[in-house]
A = this chain, B = another copy of it.
Amino acid sequence: MDVKKYHHGDLKNALIQAGIEVLTHEGLAGLSLRKVAKQAGVSHAAPYAHFTDKQAIIAAISTEGYRKLYQCLSDAIDKAKGNPHKQLIETAWAYIQFARQESGCFKIMFSGVLEQEKDYPEFVEVSQRTFALVVDIVKACQKAKILREETPQLLGVVIWGQVHGVISLIFLGQIPHMVLDRYPMREMLIRTMNQLTLVNYSE
């Protein structure tokens, strides 16, 4: 029945899920605390029992997004165990799939609406853990002579930046359709990554 229970049990997480829901369907401009509260079935003041302000809930959604992203990238690495070149491609591919499938999270994570990330230690932690994952792949690829010798952290920035930049520009609608229509996303990725690697990847 639709009897409303007094307390939610885990309102904090319910609010994060509700936030992702709102973001996915109404976009960045449509995200309001009051809508999130309504979506979770509580009064507009209830979120303040769990979050200090709107920035804090944005941080929590972004952190949850990073946890999902970390999981996606980890899975991709596991699936290509023992083959660094494949790990590189599949991890990049997983990043693109994450951006498409978890568009609500992706939008807010990299929009810049979260203004003081440093104030949210869980966000910083998972963000750094994700970067470390990329650096690990870089090291494996260097060992396999697939990437040049260069500080692994710097190469990590280059590769993450590469994939992130291209998918961001595409999502923002800044890449002419003429270019997008010529290559399926998967082919675009492989050609893109082949600009960075010493050996070409093909499938």
Q: Which of B113, B118, B192 contacts A173 (CB 8 A)?
A: B118
* Cα–Cα distance between A155 and B191 once the two chains are bound (Å): 9
Each complex incorporates copies of this chain amounting to 2
Q: Which of B113, B163, B168, B169 contacts A28 (CB 8 A)?
A: B113
Size bracket, chain A contacts: 35 or more
Please tell me which stretch of A12-20, A33-41, A82-90, A178-186 contacts chain B, meaning at least 4 of its Cβ atoms lie within 8 angstroms of it. A178-186
Distance in Å: Cβ of A18 to nearest Cβ of chain B: 20
Q: Known contacts being A29-B113, A131-B176, A191-B150, is A161 close to B157, with CB within 8 Å?
A: no
A131 proximity list for chain B (CB < 8 A): 174-176
Q: Is B111 touching A28 in the complex (CB atoms < 8 A)? A: yes
CB under 8 Å from chain B, chain A span 90-116? 107, 110-113, 115
Indicate if A52 sits at the interface (CB-CB under 8 A): no
Indicate if A154 sits at the interface (CB-CB under 8 A): yes
A167 proximity list for chain B (CB < 8 A): 161
CB under 8 Å from chain B, chain A span 106-153? 107, 110-113, 115, 117-118, 127-128, 131, 148, 150-151, 153
Q: Is A27 touching B166 in the complex (CB atoms < 8 A)? A: no
Interface centre among A148, A156, A174 (most CB of B within 10 A): A174
CB under 8 Å from chain B, chain A span 41-57? 54-55
Indicate if A11 sits at the interface (CB-CB under 8 A): no
Q: Is B153 touching A161 in the complex (CB atoms < 8 A)? A: no
* Cα–Cα distance between A184 and B90 once the two chains are bound (Å): 31
Contact surface of A with B, Cβ cutoff 8 Å: 27-29, 54-55, 107, 110-113, 115, 117-118, 127-128, 131, 148, 150-151, 153-158, 160-169, 171-176, 178-179, 182-183, 188, 191-192, 195-196
Closest 10 CB pairs between A and B? A165-B165, A161-B166, A161-B165, A164-B165, A153-B179, A117-B173, A111-B111, A162-B162, A111-B112, A158-B192
